[in-house]
Amino acid sequence: MGTTGQTGRHILDELDRDAGGARIRIGVRKQKDLERLRAEGRKAVLFDLDDPRTFAAALCGVDRMNILTGYTIAMTHQTKTVVDAAKKAGVRHIVNQGVFAADDATDSKYSWFALVEAYIEASDIAWTHLHPNVFLENMLSTSPPVGGTFETFWGENRVGYVALHDLAAVTAKVLRDGPERHGSRDYYLSTETMTSTELAAALSDVLDRKIGFATLGPADLEERFKKGTVEVEDWYARSGFELLTQFADGRMGYMGTVKDDVPYLLGRPAIGVRAWAEMHREQLLAFVDQTEG
């Protein structure tokens, strides 16, 4: 699932390098993606989380599946229906990508993930939950250092980061190894923590440019939603305000902790912030050299 997105395509790349003898079936929701993948010689099927009629044929014969959903309340009914279908199809192992959350988290998005995880665990299908913290790749999408300045919504609060390459490698590893090794396991991916000042300093060192940051808050995010700069559903918007509020008042302080299972799974250190910046140096510099407007 999700192979047309930033996470799923990395997972597919990892499986292309080493599928462990498995046959890979790719589920896509758009006809144009289906045709493109089939033209590339891929085993692709229609698999739309909002259309359960696509589930049976897509899941027939599937042994293990990776679940990737959007960060909206839709994940609750989407996961419920797809897990029910997986059980009927005889799927033996579900690898679910969640969030880096405390057990008693009250932010709505994190609560939706908790409900999703509980339903998967109650299905009698073997499960593995992955819990990544903030993606470093956000520096290439939602918070790029345009003109030498990136935006941050958590000020000087310490935040844990993970590279999508590590998340993808872990996902592929768990899928290859299967439920005998990874069933009923939670794996956490918060590999290095930094404040915004430390992150700016690290990027400055790697890029050999002066990098700064602009601190934004819930009100700034709300203004963007109202202007239509960022198009999201109302549930998601309200959840974003709540998350930033909880960052500010300390209830989400755990987001600034290291909990790194990458070495235990991959036998190597996780990719740190500076190493990641080196890997993406040219992309980052392209943003730095941009001028507003």
Looking at residue 236, its pLDDT comes to 64
Chain segment 2-20, per-residue pLDDT in tens: 888 888 999 999 999 988 8
Q: Which long-range contacts (CB under 8 A, 24 or more apart) does 278-283 make?
A: 278/206, 279/165, 280/139, 280/140, 281/206, 281/207, 283/140
Nearest to residue 256, comparing CAs of 71, 72, 102?
Answer: 102
Q: Which residues pair with 162 in a beta bridge?
A: 135
Looking at residue 234, its pLDDT comes to 66
Tokens (6 digits) for 217: 């808050």
pLDDT above 90: percentage of residues in the chain? 74
pLDDT band at 228 (very low <50, low <70, confident <90, very high): low
What pTM did the predictor assign? 0.93
| Residue 150 contacts residue 194 (beta carbons within 8 Å) | no
Tokens (6 digits) for 221: 């995010």
The arithmetic mean of pLDDT across residues 42-56, rounded, is 95
The arithmetic mean of pLDDT across residues 43-66, rounded, is 96
Residue in the block written with tokens 């994940």: 75
Mean pLDDT value across the chain: 92
The arithmetic mean of pLDDT across residues 29-44, rounded, is 94
SS3 track for 211-273? CEEEECCHHHHHHHHHHCCCCCCHHHHHHHHHHHHHHHHCCCHHHHCCEECHHHHHCCCCCCH
Looking at residue 41, its pLDDT comes to 92
The arithmetic mean of pLDDT across residues 209-226, rounded, is 82
Hey, is 50 helix, strand or coil? Answer: coil
The arithmetic mean of pLDDT across residues 99-114, rounded, is 90
Whether residue 219 has pLDDT greater than 90? no
Whether residue 288 has pLDDT greater than 70? yes
- C-alpha angle 89-48-26 in degrees, rounded to nearest 5: 70
pLDDT band at 121 (very low <50, low <70, confident <90, very high): very high
Looking at residue 241, its pLDDT comes to 78
| Residue 188 contacts residue 100 (beta carbons within 8 Å) | yes
| Residue 16 contacts residue 168 (beta carbons within 8 Å) | no
CA gap 43, 57 in Å, rounded:
13
In this structure, whether the domain defined by 6-133+163-189+257-268 belongs to CATH 3.40.50.720 is answered with yes
The arithmetic mean of pLDDT across residues 22-34, rounded, is 93
DSSP state of 60: T
CA gap 260, 87 in Å, rounded:
31
Whether residue 229 has pLDDT greater than 90? no
DSSP state of 24: P
The arithmetic mean of pLDDT across residues 222-240, rounded, is 65
Nearest to residue 105, comparing CAs of 273, 205, 242?
Answer: 242
Looking at residue 233, its pLDDT comes to 58
Whether residue 282 has pLDDT greater than 90? yes
